[in-house]
Every structure is written in structure tokens, then in C-alpha cells.
């Protein structure tokens, strides 16, 4: 079993992500933190993100991961493409197209890479089917699927962790990792105007444990909080 001590990664995570403003509809820092820890612990040398939206998660992860990084999105003019951290990242490659085709093809083109995968699009059943397919490749260490609250909370097969239902994890890391360290916008200061039931409250109040991230792996992994 691989035991991952999360607390040892907190100082570097906070230092490297300081000053990056939270963007509407983005994954929470407390969720992206888990991907950083896993990528480091598995000693992977490639990261693939599917579904880029506003580029917030891409910004965060590029500040932490200096390995080849592929971002895939069906929108050629995705909203985060002009962010300076993304435009100037030497190891970032954008692929325009359908992740259901592009993600497996990218993995197959890199058989000598050990790969981390984050799926933030497609969603729901399509995300689960894509996750199952790419977990069959021997060089994929783990796959993380975002928005667990959206019907994925009961998808347990090969799941090693789920953030929104883990009370101990959120008690220790939710505010620590998500609270702004300076004057940047964070989930406590931004109103969630994108969701009808939350238009008058902050992202933190709308999702008190985060939108949720499910992590799947064929490896036996334990998080030491």
C-alpha cells in the first residue's frame, strides 16, 4: 500500500499558488491539492487535464507541476487561454477536440510516460465511461473526476478517495487551502452566480465541502491526513 502524507505538501502548495485568483466555476484549491500530492507521490512525468473552462485549475496545477502538461477542451476559444501563467508555460500543450477521443489517443502516444489524469469534462456517465477506459492503460496511475456532487458520489469502483464526503479532510484542509493568502479573490469572497440555488451566497457556503473530487486508481493508496 502507498501511504501519502498530505501535510508535508501544504507549505509548497500554498507558496506556489499564492496570488492566483479563484475563478467562477473552478475546482477548489483543496481539491486540486490532492492531484498535486498524487502526481508527486507516484513520481509521474506527464499530466493531462480534460475540460479547461476558465483555466483556473490549469493555472493552479501548472504552478505546481513542471512536467509535460496537456490540456484538452472542445472549445477552441476556452476562457482561460489568455491567462499569462498558461500562455508562458513551456510544457503546456493545448489540444482542441472531444476528450473522449483525444484523451485515450494522447495516452497511447506516450507509452513511456507515467500519467496523471484530471477529468472536469465530460460530466456524469460520460466521465465515468472515459475514466474506466483510461484506467485500463498501465501507464495511468490515477484518474480524478470533478463535481462529485453531480451524481458521482455513489460511483465506488476503484475509488480511493472522495473529497466532499470526507469530514476529516475538510475539517483540516478546506479553509487552510481555500482561504486567500493576500488580496486575491477566493471561494469565501465570490458569490456563486452560476447556480440558481446559490445566487446570493459565496462558493464556500454553496459548497461547504467543495463540489467534490473523486479519485480512482488500480493502486492501493491511503491518505494520511
Q: Each residue of 2-43: pLDDT tens digit?
A: 999 999 999 999 999 999 999 989 999 999 999 999 999 999
Q: Which residues contact 202 (CB under 8 A, 6 or more apart)?
A: 187, 188, 189, 190, 191, 192
Average pLDDT of the residues of the chain: 94
Q: What is the pLDDT of residue 153?
A: 67
pLDDT at 194 over 70: yes
The percentage of residues in the chain with a pLDDT greater than 90, rounded to a whole number, is: 84
2-170+210-224: CATH topology: Rossmann fold (3.40.50)
Identify which of 70, 62, 63 has the alpha carbon closest to the alpha carbon of residue 46: 70
Domain range annotation of the chain: 2-170+210-224
Amino acid at each position: 500500500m502507498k501511504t501519502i502524507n498530505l501535510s508535508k505538501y501544504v507549505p509548497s502548495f500554498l507558496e506556489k499558488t499564492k496570488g492566483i485568483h479563484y475563478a467562477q466555476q473552478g475546482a477548489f484549491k483543496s481539491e486540486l491539492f490532492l492531484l498535486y500530492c498524487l502526481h508527486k507521490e507516484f513520481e509521474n512525468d506527464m499530466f493531462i487535464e480534460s475540460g479547461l473552462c476558465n483555466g483556473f485549475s490549469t493555472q493552479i496545477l501548472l504552478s505546481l507541476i513542471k512536467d509535460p502538461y496537456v490540456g484538452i477542451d472542445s472549445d477552441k476559444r476556452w476562457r482561460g487561454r489568455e491567462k499569462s501563467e498558461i500562455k508562458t508555460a513551456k510544457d503546456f500543450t493545448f489540444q482542441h477536440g472531444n476528450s473522449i477521443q483525444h484523451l485515450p489517443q494522447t495516452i497511447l502516444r506516450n507509452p513511456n510516460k507515467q500519467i496523471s489524469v484530471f477529468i472536469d469534462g465530460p460530466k456524469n456517465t460520460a466521465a465515468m465511461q472515459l475514466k474506466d477506459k483510461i484506467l485500463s492503460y498501465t501507464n495511468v496511475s490515477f484518474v480524478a473526476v470533478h463535481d462529485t456532487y453531480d451524481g458521482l458520489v455513489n460511483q465506488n469502483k476503484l475509488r480511493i478517495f472522495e473529497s466532499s464526503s470526507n469530514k476529516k479532510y475538510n475539517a483540516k484542509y478546506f479553509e487552510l487551502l481555500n482561504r486567500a493568502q493576500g488580496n486575491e479573490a477566493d471561494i469565501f469572497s465570490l458569490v456563486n452566480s452560476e447556480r440558481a440555488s446559490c445566487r446570493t451566497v459565496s462558493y464556500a457556503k454553496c459548497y461547504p465541502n467543495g463540489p467534490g473530487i473523486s479519485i480512482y486508481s488500480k493502486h492501493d493508496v491511503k491518505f494520511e491526513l
